[in-house]
Structure 1
């Protein structure tokens, strides 16, 4: 059976509306089983295929444009930007476009596009406390992370730690990177970090963006 037909057979659900409701109510949403095990396996297959090619995964950096730099004291993940050239990645992007439509219809967020990359955290890797967008200086509106890790145990570490936007030193939640779980949060509000992982950790990180292009400046497609 063709991969696309397997994906298309999934029954409709209200997960997109639930995510929109939670984002409206509290600024973030956590959705277990956002994708099926079949979808997780398909994305992992693409991910593992990338790892067989030299330079397919690059060390992630911080900053934008001329300020971009790698800094192992801040983050230690390896990334590959997703362009939808494979069936699993295109189906994932289609699913996120469905979410974009739902968010715009329900919350009037003006989300313009979506960008995402695979992220590999080797054993021991982390990403220190940071925020994805600073108020008034970014086109990132919502951050998303989809996890691809089976049988993740509490002793494996690697949780996403989010902080209370009203009390930046107060932990709001620690989220294990369990396969199929999607987390969505407002990019300008939530400081967060990835705790050190004790085994390899796979995910897809993404951002819904608004269009801040002007007659003299065009938004770049990626922050790298």
Structure 2
């Protein structure tokens, strides 16, 4: 698998802005393989929840997309995780973050699906440090990712889903949302995490 990215393409943007948007991040063959993997597991997509473990709940007034957590059942999933492992190492080398691992799931947004404004992490209450969104298909209308300026209602950037584009941003810093979709939208949402296991209590996997 050929990776198209050069670390400096996203490290400098993250250092300056707290986020990066990189088109054509990986070889197109990987993007296509991941898209076909979505078709393979399509019946297994489930309505997305909010929260983690015992706090997980379904609330379609907040989000209505469907997800499938990576389970290592395809070579495409393994290749993608290997590519993100390289990014994790680069982030740790450059920012000394101590990122421990990476978790991710496929996300499918159909007509009218959305995810209202939210943070992926709250200060001192989550082990998620960096959020990633990787787009598997290009849509002509709807489903934009809107990232807001820190502690503000002003928009920082609006990103139209385009196959092969990887978005990364600080999980605690940026509120964001997915606008209602028109065209079906497939992506991979993921998080680089720190290890918060303490006193023999194992950090939850999700």
Is TM-score (shorter-chain normalized) higher than 0.5? yes
Contact 1:17 1:102 in 2 (8 A): no
Match of 1:161 in 2: 146
Match of 1:68 in 2: 56
Give 3-state SS (helix, strand or coil) of 2:99's partner: coil
Deviation at 1:199, TM superposition (A): 1.4
| Partners of 1:34 and 1:90 in 2: CA distance | 17
Aligned pair count? Answer: 206
Match of 1:220 in 2: 204
TM-score of the two chains, using structure 2 as the length reference: 0.96
Q: For residues 132-211 of structure 1, what are the structure 2 equivalents within 5 Å?
A: 132-150=120-138, 152-153=139-140, 156-166=141-151, 168-211=152-195
Give 3-state SS (helix, strand or coil) of 2:73's partner: coil
Is 1:87 the counterpart of 2:75 in the alignment?
yes
Is 1:39 the counterpart of 2:30 in the alignment?
yes
Deviation at 1:11, TM superposition (A): 6.5
Is 1:96 the counterpart of 2:80 in the alignment?
no
Deviation at 1:70, TM superposition (A): 0.5
Match of 1:114 in 2: 102
Alpha carbons of structure 1 residues 12 and 123: separation in structure 2 relative to 1, 3 Å: closer
TM-score of the two chains, using structure 1 as the length reference: 0.89
| Partners of 1:119 and 1:12 in 2: CA distance | 23
Deviation at 1:66, TM superposition (A): 2.1
Unaligned 5+ segments in structure 1 are: 1-6
| Partners of 1:77 and 1:22 in 2: CA distance | 29
Residues 48-80 of structure 1: CA deviation (Å, up to 9, x unaligned): 0101x4xx1111011122221000000011001
After TM superposition, where is structure 1 displaced by more than 2 Å over at least 4 residues in a row?
10-13
Contact 1:60 1:77 in 2 (8 A): yes
Which protein has the larger Cα radius of gyration, Structure 1 or Structure 2?
1
